[in-house]
Amino acid sequence: MKKFTLLIIALFLGFYSAMAQLSPSELAKLTPLQKSIYERQSAEIKAAIKAAQDELFKAEDIIRMGKEMMDDNAKAAGAAHIARGVALQEKAQKVIEEERKKQVLLDQAAREAIENNKKK
């Protein structure tokens, strides 16, 4: 049930972030300087999300290993692995959420820049 809930949240956030990103026609409306700044910052955000997703996969593996250890009568070591994995998982999920919020804010700023460019 927990995995299902996380999957639904991830899909929702993915859909939300996909809606927020600028279309190619919107990118064309930015000045070259604005476009290069947007692309650089967007690439940094995407790299941070990718790194956090990698950490999330590592955390899941650590949790799985801890559960296997507990099944093999290594209760203390298994519990330690699970605790470490859960902490890493929560940290990675928080980073992903924060980076997606940054992407939405960056897209909003770019749209405001487009509006300002139209006014000039």
Encode pLDDT of 15-43 as tens digits: 554 545 888 888 888 899 999 999 999 99
How far is it, in rounded angstroms, from Cα 50 to Cα 38?
A: 18
CB 44 within 8 A of CB 98: no
Lowest average pLDDT, out of 6-10, 21-25, 34-38, 45-49, goes to: 6-10
How far is it, in rounded angstroms, from Cα 26 to Cα 49?
A: 23
Determine what percent of the chain is predicted with pLDDT higher than 90: 62
Average of pLDDT values for 62-91? 91
Closest-CA residue to 92 (of 48, 44, 55): 55
When pLDDT is cut at 50, 70 and 90, the band that residue 61 belongs to is very high
